[in-house]
Amino acid sequence: MCNATEGIPHMSIPKGKIFLLQPVQFSGPCKSNQVLVEVGGIIVAPTNIQAWNDEKEKWISFANIDGLTINGGGQIDGQGSVWWNACTDKALHFHNCNGLQLSKLRHLNSPKNHISISSSNRVYISNLHIFAPEKSPNTDGIDISRSSNVSVLNTVMETGDDCIAINGGSSYIKISGIACGPGHGISIGSLGKNGAYETVEEIQVSNCSFTGTQNAARIKTWQGGSGYARKIIFERIRLINSEHPIIIDQNYDPNSLKPGSKSAVKMSDVTFRDVRGTSADEIAIDLVCSDSVGCTNIVLENIDIRSTIPGKRTYSRCNNAHGTAKETNPIVPCLSQ
């Protein structure tokens, strides 16, 4: 397919057909600047672990292919339950695929991450339905790392982990129209694990709903790391029984803390605006910033998060967070002073 020199190279999975696909990698660069893959039918992964041979990190991988479009209305089924207690990785992985477009597909039961994007620019993802059982471990919907100018729009995600995770090296990410739940919400990070220097900036999350999720809008960084997370906006967010609606955690894994550590990923210029709905936990706003670095210019505006239980109050919790809060329920004293 990559050697075609005329027209747009095209691979089709016919509608009404089911194909068992062994682990496979499609590698470029391609001679054409456009490549089309139409998935009209159903692709399923082998359920026999031995069938994967030594390739246990990726099921379907695309690398170094620019102008790749995958659509067609079909289904990609990772049949991942056999892997959920094992060590595996991504179902569908794109590396260095600039100009990628992914739309109108169903993704089911990934062994781990359903879709992973790395080292790519100008990525457009829309109109997907991603599903894995609520208790399935590590079944992230979409993971983004070291990528820029990525849009994820109008997609339904029901997972056992993050609906979307935005990892280090990512910038100019737009997420809108996501229906998340169950799952662990939309997360920035985790960043700075094992003392790493990592950065994330220019992230916009808007017009998203979270139903029965463990978290909703979350930023998580490890103590001992370095770098920054900045210029991040969560706005027009709707909540239904979300356990932790707004959470900043600069101590993502408290068990890893080193006494006296003065290093942390710097967090600044983060806005939560027009966030409304119900919380399953009494702590609806949780801003846990590190003692050493803290968070600056944290802005909360037009927030109304009430308890799922009628008559019960919601509260906020702060540590070393600095900024402003306006028209916020529950009140956030550390930002309101």
The single-letter code of the amino acid at 1 is: M
Residue 5 lies in a domain: no
Give pLDDT, residue 336: 67
| pLDDT classification of 117: cutoffs 50, 70, 90 | very high
Residue 2 lies in a domain: no
Residue 143 predicted with pLDDT over 60: yes
Work out the number of other CB atoms within 10 angstroms of the CB of residue 21: 14
Are 246 and 275 spatial neighbours (Cβ–Cβ below 8 Å)? yes
CA atoms within 13 A on the CB side of 106: 13
- Summarised one tens digit per residue, pLDDT across range 91-113 is 899 999 999 999 999 999 888 88
- How do strand 58-63 and strand 68-71 relate by DSSP bridges? unpaired
Q: What distance in Å separates the CA atoms of residue 190 and residue 159, rounded to the nearest whole number?
A: 18
Per-residue pLDDT, averaged over 188-203, amounts to 96
Give pLDDT, residue 135: 87
Q: What distance in Å separates the CA atoms of residue 141 and residue 161, rounded to the nearest whole number?
A: 8
| pLDDT classification of 85: cutoffs 50, 70, 90 | low
| pLDDT classification of 145: cutoffs 50, 70, 90 | very high
**Per-residue buried b or exposed e for 67-97, using 16+ beta carbons within 10 Å of the residue's own CB:** bbbbbbebbbbbbbeebbeeebbbbbbbbbb
Residue 117's φ and ψ, nearest 5 degrees, are -115, 125
- How do strand 244-249 and strand 283-288 relate by DSSP bridges? parallel
CA torsion 116→118→124→129, rounded to 10°? 0
| Mean pLDDT for the chain overall | 92
What's the gap between Cα 191 and its chain centre? Answer: 13
Domain count for the chain: 1
Per-residue pLDDT, averaged over 18-36, amounts to 93
| pLDDT classification of 130: cutoffs 50, 70, 90 | very high
3-state helix, strand, coil in the chain (%, to 5): 5, 55, 40
Are 15 and 49 spatial neighbours (Cβ–Cβ below 8 Å)? no
Residue 269 lies in a domain: yes
| pLDDT classification of 233: cutoffs 50, 70, 90 | very high
| pLDDT classification of 256: cutoffs 50, 70, 90 | low
Concatenated DSSP letters of 183-222: S--EEEEEE-GGG-EEEEEEEEEEEEEEES-SEEEEEEE-
- Look up the pTM and report it: 0.94
- Residue ranges making up the domain that contains 115: 10-336
Q: What distance in Å separates the CA atoms of residue 139 and residue 137, rounded to the nearest whole number?
A: 6
The single-letter code of the amino acid at 81 is: S
| Helical segments of the chain, H only | 333-336
Residue 3 lies in a domain: no
Q: State which H helix or E strand residue 241 sits in.
A: strand 226-242
- Summarised one tens digit per residue, pLDDT across range 37-59 is 999 999 998 887 666 555 556 88
**3-class DSSP assignment, residue 83:** helix
Residue 84 predicted with pLDDT over 90: no
Residue 93 lies in a domain: yes
Residue 153 predicted with pLDDT over 70: yes
Q: Is 262 exposed, middle or buried (0-12, 13-18, 19+ CB in 10 A)?
A: exposed
Residue 1 lies in a domain: no
Residue 4 lies in a domain: no
CATH code, domain with 118 = 2.160.20.10
Are 39 and 105 spatial neighbours (Cβ–Cβ below 8 Å)? yes
Are 41 and 16 spatial neighbours (Cβ–Cβ below 8 Å)? yes
The one-character DSSP state at 264 is B
Residue 130 lies in a domain: yes
Per-residue pLDDT, averaged over 280-306, amounts to 96
Choose among 104, 92, 99, 83: nearest CA to 40.
104
Q: What distance in Å separates the CA atoms of residue 303 and residue 277, rounded to the nearest whole number?
A: 9
Give pLDDT, residue 137: 83
What's the gap between Cα 73 and its chain centre? Answer: 22
- Residues with catalytic roles: 184
